[in-house]
Structure 1
Amino acid sequence: MTCFQVIGEDYVKDLSQLKKLNEFVDDATFIRDIAKVKQDNKLKFAQYLEKEYRVKINPSSMFDVHVKRIHEYKRQLLNCLHIIALYNRIRKNPTAPFVPRTVIIGGKAAPGYHMAKMIIKLITSVADVVNNDPAVGSKLKVIFLENYRVSLAEKVIPATDLSEQISTAGTEASGTGNMKFMLNGALTIGTMDGANVEMAEEAGEENLFIFGMRVEDVSEMDKKGYDAMSYYKKIPELKQVMDQIASGFFSPRNPELFKDLTDMLFKYDRFKVFADFEDYLKSQDKVSKLYQNPVEWTKMVIRNIAATGKFSSDRTITEYATEVWGVEPTDLKIPPPNEPREAIEETVKALKKM
């Protein structure tokens, strides 16, 4: 069943109508059909990745996606540390149960932003190791999307299972990519930052994977001082990950390659990656557990899609028109641009008289 079939066509002009999908959250047929759409999109994108990146992707794996501008505050580094932690878990016990993941990161760095470029270099270096380790197989793959752009977003967003929105609380002005993922049936793992706050209000915090410090926690830490080394010493998985990066495990030809990155994380990380590391891993474990239950996962997906009506640009423009500009709606039909010039001129005249 499509959305048209279950709630009609009105939602195309009024996205708030998507709330009606909540009535079908327990409908077995609708759950199956939503899951099938997602799987079809994943299969298409897996084929694209195999063709463009020469990496064979397991289309049944969780597609864990983090695409946005590369910046320290957006914390692609936190994601990368988690990838390495997962890799270490597999290497430690290759026969242990593991929910397969394909981690996809994409974005561009500003030309003069050295640290952002080093973040990309670390991600691609980790990918080289993980993707070529026979002990890992299809359990974990890492892809860095080159030249991330709108035409690529059109492919990856509909195929995403998990949307990464993990900026340090209080640093993201708004964010709209997370809304696009939500509307296209991805679940969100994120901090209470930017639009994640509104998304949690609309869908219910229990329907997102929220982790980490809140704004008030960050403010309190700023007053007391952030001690990265204390987290390194008390979290074994974090220590192992950082020791690997610092020792050149992922850059054997140049062991000092990531010194600037490790120095930043230990000495002057304004965005407190280590402080949220442990809670991020725990939240990711919850993600994996839920993913093993496709029905419950898809139910949460439906609840998220149903909650996206507020984020329609139509609603935003309507509010601006009525509350700021004092403009009232009109029934006047605006002709399409391919209609005769005379019809368009008549409409313009009518608008001028209003």
Structure 2
Amino acid sequence: MQRPHDEELSALGVEPGRFRRENPRAFGLAVCVKMPDGSKIYGVSRLVAVEHGLRFGSTQLLSHSDTWCGSLEDAESEIIRLFKLAAIGFQPQAEPNGKPWKKVVALLGGAKVEDDPRVHWKREMKLVAGLREIDLDIRSNPESSIPQVVKDLKSKPPSALLVWVDWVANPDVFTAPYLAAKPGAKADLLGTRGAEMTFDEHLAELSMHLSEISPIEGQNLPDSTPTNWTDAAVQIKNLIGPHFILTDRALKMLPGNPYPNPARMFDFVSKLERAADSYFTQKGNLGAGVADFCMSRFGIEVALFDDTLSPKDVEVSGCKINGVKAIPHVKVDDAKDPAHCGRIYFAMDGVNFRFIVDHIGLHDYR
């Protein structure tokens, strides 16, 4: 990681001038601990140390800040946060003679000028991809060289294609020939047409898509992933609790749901349920806005408003809850065509600190 600043070293009781030859340094550490009951916890830490602190050849540990997580996703979010402090020269790459990494092309868009912030996004995006053993090939201005980019996608199709709709005006120009060259491959659209997302939100969304392209072995067990809406309906209902409610309308939608990818929708619903659990246990005090919390912790994009809607009060077990309306919503594949664009609309009950879901499916909530 980057060398600790002199101010940090001084705060730790070290005189920076004396220790310049002792190589003050910081590094990151991540561990997985298997508990006696078989469960796993994950620890992520940043450590600051100096060489020859006590004697020649030794290392003196000055400080460490550790965070323990109950899920691999939360640990990954902590690691991504530390990437902002990664050493400038560090580049993710496959181990020598190890398994080759997957190649993913990312069409980020934008100009190549140095003051464009996207120029400086590339490194952190590549580091995030490295967590998943992915070589991320970022093309900064693809629409200025469409023939060459399309030629590359057709002649050597990568494992997946990611296109940011914030800056790439015509994604189909790239996705159509790629899918023709590699039928059934993953070609996802990221971002929003209005370019409202921050870099941290883009990074969280990228991480979510990369986890689907290259899941960590054992992270998603085959028997736990629904392959049809019958199974998905059962697993979604199992998420229901005092913190996470499905209205009568939402329950009726589950069997025969028209959204084409039940496994993907279940993934988003389960992440929303985890956010609801935090909202419930912390009595609504998440330490951040709901949208920011959901994106940074679980990689799901939540919009709190929808000017096109005038929904009725939600109804649970035949009883209407006055004044509680499902306007906040999770965006699932926002930039795709109507047959593949999903939404989860929910209400936030600030009295009982729970999420009440009223719609799971396509973007056709009325």
Q: Give the TM-score taking structure 2 as reference length.
A: 0.25
More helix, by proportion = 1
Which structure has more relative contact order (CA 8 Å, sep 6+)? It is 1
